[in-house]
Amino acid sequence: MKDVDLSGVISLMQTQNDYINQVYKIIYVLYTDLNVANNSEFQKFTIHFNEFMLSHAKSEGFSKAIEISQHHYVMLEKLVDHEILATAEQLEIAVVHLETAIKDPSIRTNLQILLLNQGIMMLEETQLKIIETVENLLEKFRKTQLQN
């Protein structure tokens, strides 16, 4: 495995971190709107988004450790199994709650909700790219191991 490939994963995770920071700022502003703040689905979205953020933070640190590790394959599998997929799951749960919250007419008209929804879509896309990149790295490594 090449460090260049692992750098790509880290780069995607750093991009995702930038998106998370932007989305968090929007969430903070949205909590000043009582219609949004009092919506139970939006509150559930926030809980799961926070779980997603924590999981992402653990994944990012873990992926940096991969660069210096001699056990890339084992660590990548562990990263996929325990961190990246758990992160994606929390984001997906958060999205479901946000979609439900947006059905409330008093929330749907808030412009910050539109920005939040766009930011979440970017996070989902980046998360998918991270999963695909790491799975491709694992597949390349497996093929290399079989050839040896």
Domains, the chain, ordered by start = 3-143 (1.20.120)
pLDDT, residue 55, reads: 82
76's CB contacts (< 8 A; 6+ apart) are 66, 134, 137, 138, 141
The Cα 5–Cα 10 span in angstroms is 9
Q: Give yes or no for a contact between 106 and 35, defined as CB atoms under 8 angstroms apart.
A: yes
pLDDT, residue 94, reads: 94
Q: Which of 70, 50, 75, 60 is nearest to 10 (CA)?
A: 60
Element (DSSP H or E) covering residue 110: none
Residue with tokens 């790509």: 8
> Residue 89: is it exposed, middle or buried by C-beta count within 10 angstroms (0-12/13-18/19+)?
middle
pLDDT, residue 36, reads: 94
pLDDT, residue 39, reads: 95
Residues of the chain with pLDDT under 50: 1-4, 69-70
